[in-house]
Amino acid sequence: MHVRTAPAVPRNPVRKAFAAAALAGLTGSLFPLLAPLPARATDTGFEEQVLFRAGREGPGTDAYACFRIPALVTTVRGTVLAFAEGRKGNCGDATDIDVVVKRSADGGRTWGPLEVVDEGRGDTHGNPAPVVDRRSGRITLLTTYNRGRPDAGNCDVPCDRTPYVQYSGDDGAHWSEPEDLTRELRPPGWNSWYATGPGHGIQLAHGPHRGRLVVGLNAESHDGTHGTRGHANHAALALSDDGGAHWRLGAVDTHAAAPDGTYAQKPSELTVAERADGTVYAGGREQDGTELGNRDFAVSPDGGAAFAGPFRAVPDLYTPMVQGSVAVLRPGRWLFASPADPDRRRSMTIRSSYDEGRTWEGVEQGRLVTADWAGYSDMAVVEDSNRDGGGGDRGTAGLLYEAGRGNARDEIRFARFTEEWLGARSGPPPTTPDRAPGARDAYVLGGPHPVRGRSGGGLAFDGVDDAVRLPYRASLPLGARDFTAALWFRSRPRSATPRPAAPLPATARPATPRPATPRSPSTTTAAAVPPEQPLLWMGGMGGAPQVALRVAPGGRVIGQVTAVAGAGPARTAVVRSAAYGDGLWHRVVLRRGGGRIVLAVDGAASSVPDVPGAVSRNSTFGVHLGQRPDGRSWLAGELDDVRVYGRALTDGEVARLGRPDGPGKPGRLRLPVRPGGPDPARDLLLWLPLDRIDRAARVDLTPDQTGRTGRTDHTDRTDRTGRVQAARERDGAAGPGCGAASRP
């Protein structure tokens, strides 16, 4: 079948790069986490253009309503193929959808016209997953079909979807007719959902299975026992040992639904990469599993035939629930592209791994491509001087991704970038001790400076980019248990002290869903950002389970607990205090216990009924001081002596906890241990005295099987007066955000 060239509907010239003015209205508070610099037209080693734009081009005189689901490969001859779904009439997932492609012969600098590879003819043809056989040069394209519908609704459950395959032997200029792969790749029980990719597959280059083609799949089974939810989820690899002529199922990881319809893990939309020893890495979108994290992974040491174990979540790899892409830039540096806001699809960011996907950079170490709304993506090396065995330049990578100023479905952009633009590997950040049993030191981000605290030394935060973040460990998530969080805070002194206001009524409410098309951060002014002051944040964002202490405008302290029980919706309890924005030190204690959420500031307490369920589940997980997890609010003030216990302390214990330890470094815990009673030290989950900053540390970031990481060693220590002691050793490693990344 010859592809059809679609004439373009008249439109403006293709944009080649960001205009600097596109981000002119943004302040640092609008960028995610520690505000990695966004890509701009003037950046050396980076250029970008819009490749597919909604409403601007399509078959004949009709323009596609939108383009989604990008996929990217580079052929043996160096032609870059950019695939997408062209959606007609509306942008629904089950509408009339074609698979389209654009071709570039110069590494993605210029592109040919849109061509239709696979016409939907009223049905849904999508989920492109191309893979190149480097022996023959042939390109294989796997796709998935389902019956289309005229509106923007979803495919009815159970959704019968079928895999298909096409081939091109001339660098994507012509394609064969689609062939049904149901017998080869879809077992009869996989009857509720099925998806190829989306995104590129790989050809193995190492080990005994060299030459094998590998593509990621996911599917669901439905027997009617769980309503519209399937009763089993399957993450799998499709394999071909003859250049794509024949396919078979390889590794399969099946997760059964619990009686309440939930899944512990539900990996989907797999992206694959190969380690130097031939091991296949499969990274997935975690689709609402109850375990923490929106990303998961598994590895196959036998070339994709079987997984070494079930998929495991990556709790602190910050991303919303969305597809992400992985590519090998060069041996020793992998790339992961995904939106980096843990709550919403925005802020496309590229993060690196220097150990083949075992750990990943934190957001603040990655490279922000855009602060706009962003969604699905794919990556490939588009120019590589080493492809034919030569030396020299490490090459140029391409990123094909959904984005828009008003909506991530507005357009699909293509960015070319070099390793120099990405930047070199970051060194270790400063740390501050966490004295809880088995804890690892916390990361000091930005530039908090030591001050005299309420119970020894404390840290002052500038309200711009200062924060403290804990590396993930398995003991930090609170789950459904009771807890106590306590800290000292002082707001930034003001010219006038506000009069304490009467406490507002506390509420318990269902979590409010996000609007479908929120405003773009590119067009939001700094004044529109709520000037809240985050004190302590544990968990996710938005309607995700979380525990948060923050100071609202006007100085009221707010305690928020969002929990999820079973398959029910998230519910949130909010309790508020009087105003305390007076520039003085105040002790804040938030307790969950006895069916109540109690907030006490300097002993003055208010409470609301508890909300049932787990406060750490489903979403990404992080523990932050002075920063909201999405990096859009920061503390301008001071913190001291932050503690979290895995039970509700008694009133007497809280009273003793509130007494200052006096000047100097805090010593051991002051709470008494009653004979036969609970041990506060044993229940202590985190304890940050904030009395010291260790300027440089050798950090072991490889987690063990419990999720714990090694302890910091050989540090430069800064006492609360700011003096720095002599260093014993300086030895760099990757930094925050890596503590619970994937393990082989």
Segment 445-475, tens digit of pLDDT: 999 999 999 988 999 999 999 999 999 999 9
313 with 415, same domain?
yes
Task: Residue 72: name the closest of 420, 543, 400 by CA.
Answer: 400
Task: Residue 552: name the closest of 543, 540, 560, 544 by CA.
Answer: 560
* Interatomic CA distance for residues 584 and 493, integer angstroms: 8
* Interatomic CA distance for residues 398 and 377, integer angstroms: 10
485 with 390, same domain?
no
Q: Which of 364, 399, 420 is the last residue of a domain?
A: 420
Averaged pLDDT score across all residues of the chain: 83
What value, to the nearest 5°, has the Cα angle with vertex 387 and ends 382 and 388? 140
Instruction: Check pLDDT > 90 for residue 719.
Output: no
Highest mean pLDDT out of 16-20, 106-110, 520-524: 106-110
Residue 70 lies in a domain: yes
Instruction: Check pLDDT > 60 for residue 389.
Output: no
pLDDT digits (tens, 9 = 90+) for 42-73: 478 999 999 999 999 998 788 999 999 999 99
pLDDT digits (tens, 9 = 90+) for 196-212: 999 999 999 999 999 99
Instruction: Check pLDDT > 60 for residue 698.
Output: no
Q: Which of 420, 449, 476 is the last residue of a domain?
A: 420
Q: What pLDDT does residue 404 have?
A: 98
Residue 204 lies in a domain: no
Please state the φ and ψ torsions of residue 30, each to the nearest 5 degrees. -90, -10
626, 468 contact by CB (below 8 A): yes
Task: Residue 432: name the closest of 727, 641, 660 by CA.
Answer: 641
Task: Return the bridge partners of 253, or none.
Answer: 235
pLDDT band at 38 (very low <50, low <70, confident <90, very high): very low
The DSSP output letter for 75 is -
More confident residue, 72 or 261: 72
Please state the φ and ψ torsions of residue 652, each to the nearest 5 degrees. -65, -40
Residue corresponding to tokens 């990123």: 399
Residue 635 lies in a domain: yes
Residue 719 lies in a domain: no
Q: What is the mean pLDDT of residues 601-624?
A: 95
Class of residue 636 by CB neighbours under 10 A (exposed 0-12, middle 13-18, buried 19+):
middle
**Cis status, amide bond into 113, omega within 30 of 0:** no
Residue corresponding to tokens 């794919």: 378
Q: How far is residue 89 from each of residues 122, 538, 547, 565, measured CA to CA in Å?
A: 10, 43, 43, 39
Q: What pLDDT does residue 581 have?
A: 84
Instruction: Check pLDDT > 50 for residue 341.
Output: yes
130 with 16, same domain?
yes
Residue 141 lies in a domain: yes
Domain count across the chain: 2
Residue 552 lies in a domain: yes
Q: What is the mean pLDDT of residues 655-661?
A: 65
Helix/strand/coil percentages in the chain, nearest 5: 5, 40, 55
472 with 390, same domain?
no
Instruction: Check pLDDT > 50 for residue 632.
Output: yes
pLDDT band at 659 (very low <50, low <70, confident <90, very high): low
Residue 741 lies in a domain: no
* Interatomic CA distance for residues 675 and 530, integer angstroms: 48
* Interatomic CA distance for residues 168 and 328, integer angstroms: 24
The DSSP output letter for 594 is T
CATH code, domain with 166: 2.120.10.10
455 with 604, same domain?
yes
Q: What is the mean pLDDT of residues 246-255?
A: 98
442 with 413, same domain?
no
- Token pair, residue 385, equals 């001087």
What predicted TM-score, i.e. pTM, was given to this entire model?
A: 0.83
**Cis status, amide bond into 158, omega within 30 of 0:** yes
Give the range among 45-54, 169-178, 296-305, 485-494 with minimum mean pLDDT. 485-494
Question: Domain range holding 95?
Answer: 4-179+223-234+288-293+307-420
458 with 341, same domain?
no
414 with 478, same domain?
no
Task: Residue 82: name the closest of 99, 63, 57 by CA.
Answer: 99
91, 375 contact by CB (below 8 A): no
340 with 462, same domain?
no
543 with 577, same domain?
yes
CATH code, domain with 475: 2.60.120.200
Share of the chain above pLDDT 90, in %: 70
138 with 10, same domain?
yes
141, 117 contact by CB (below 8 A): yes
Residue 520 lies in a domain: no
487 with 415, same domain?
no
